[in-house]
Amino acid sequence: MSLDTGKRYIVIGAGPAGLTAAKSLLAKGCRNVLVIEQDDVAGGISKTVCHNGNRIDLGGHRFFSKSDEVMQWWQSVLPVEQEDKPSDEEAFLVRHRLSRILYERKFFAYPVTLSMDTLSKLGGRRLVKIALSYALARLHPVQPEKSLEDFFINRFGRELYQTFFRDYTQKVWGLPCSELSADWGAQRVKGLSVTAVLAHAIKSIGKSLRKGTGGIAQKDVETSLIAYFLYPKHGPGSLWEGVAQDVQRMGGTILYKSRVTGLDYADGRIKSVAVAPTDSRDGAEETGHDADVVISSMPLRELVAGLRGSVPADVLDVARGLVYRDFMTVGLVLRRNGRLADLKDNWIYVQEPDVHMGRIQIFNNWSPHLACDRQTLLLGLEYFCSEGDRFWTMADQDFIAMAAGELEKIGLARKEDVLDAFVVRVPKAYPAYFGSYDKIGVLQKWLDGVPNLYPVGRNGMHRYNNMDHSMLSALRTMDCLADNGPAKSSVWQVNAEKEYHEEKQ
Ligand SMILES: Cc1cc2nc3c(=O)[nH]c(=O)nc-3n(C[C@H](O)[C@H](O)[C@H](O)COP(=O)(O)OP(=O)(O)OC[C@H]3O[C@@H](n4cnc5c(N)ncnc54)[C@H](O)[C@@H]3O)c2cc1C
Over the stretch 139-180, which tens digit does the pLDDT of each residue have? 999 988 889 999 999 988 999 899 888 888 889 889 899 988
162 lines ligand 1 (CB under 6 A): no
Average pLDDT of the residues of the chain: 90
φ/ψ of 398, rounded to 5, equals -65, -40
d(CA 426, CA 48): 12
User: Can you give the pLDDT at residue 339?
Assistant: 86
Superfamily of domain 8-45+237-322+434-500: FAD/NAD(P)-binding domain (3.50.50.60)
Which residue CA neighbors atom 14 of ligand 1 most closely?
466
Q: Could you tell me the pTM of the whole model?
A: 0.90
d(CA 21, CA 101): 37
In the predicted model, what is the mean pLDDT of residues 293-315? 98
Total count of residues recorded for the chain? 505
**CATH architecture assigned to 99-189:** Orthogonal Bundle (1.10)
pLDDT by residue (tens digit) across 421-450?
999 999 999 999 889 999 999 999 999 999
Confidence class for position 221, pLDDT limits 50, 70, 90: low
Nearest to 427 by CA among 168, 39, 166: 39
Of 297, 424, 425, which is best to mutate to test ligand 1, by the most ligand atoms within 8 angstroms of its C-beta? 297
**Do 21 and 238 touch, CB atoms closer than 8 A?**
no
In the predicted model, what is the mean pLDDT of residues 64-80? 95
Residues in contact with 497: Cβ distance below 8 Å, sequence separation at least 6, in sequence order: none
d(CA 17, CA 21): 6
59 lines ligand 1 (CB under 6 A): yes
User: Can you give the pLDDT at residue 193?
Assistant: 60
In the predicted model, what is the mean pLDDT of residues 327-332? 98
306 lines ligand 1 (CB under 6 A): no
Atom of ligand 1 nearest to the CA of 382: 1
Q: Is the pLDDT of residue 69 over 90?
A: yes
Nearest to 165 by CA among 153, 147, 175, 174: 153
User: Can you give the pLDDT at residue 499?
Assistant: 44
241 lines ligand 1 (CB under 6 A): no
- Ligand 1 centre to CA of 270 (Å) is 24
d(CA 459, CA 300): 6
Confidence class for position 86, pLDDT limits 50, 70, 90: confident
The full set of domain ranges for the chain reads 8-45+237-322+434-500, 46-98+323-431, 99-189
46 lines ligand 1 (CB under 6 A): yes
377 lines ligand 1 (CB under 6 A): no
- The phi-psi region of residue 243 (left if phi > 0; otherwise alpha if psi is between -120 and 50; otherwise beta) is alpha
473 lines ligand 1 (CB under 6 A): no
349 lines ligand 1 (CB under 6 A): no
User: Can you give the pLDDT at residue 150?
Assistant: 93
In the predicted model, what is the mean pLDDT of residues 75-100? 91
Provide CATH code, domain 46-98+323-431: 3.90.660.20
- Among 138-147, 244-253, 350-359, 390-399, the range scoring the smallest mean pLDDT is 138-147
Confidence class for position 202, pLDDT limits 50, 70, 90: low
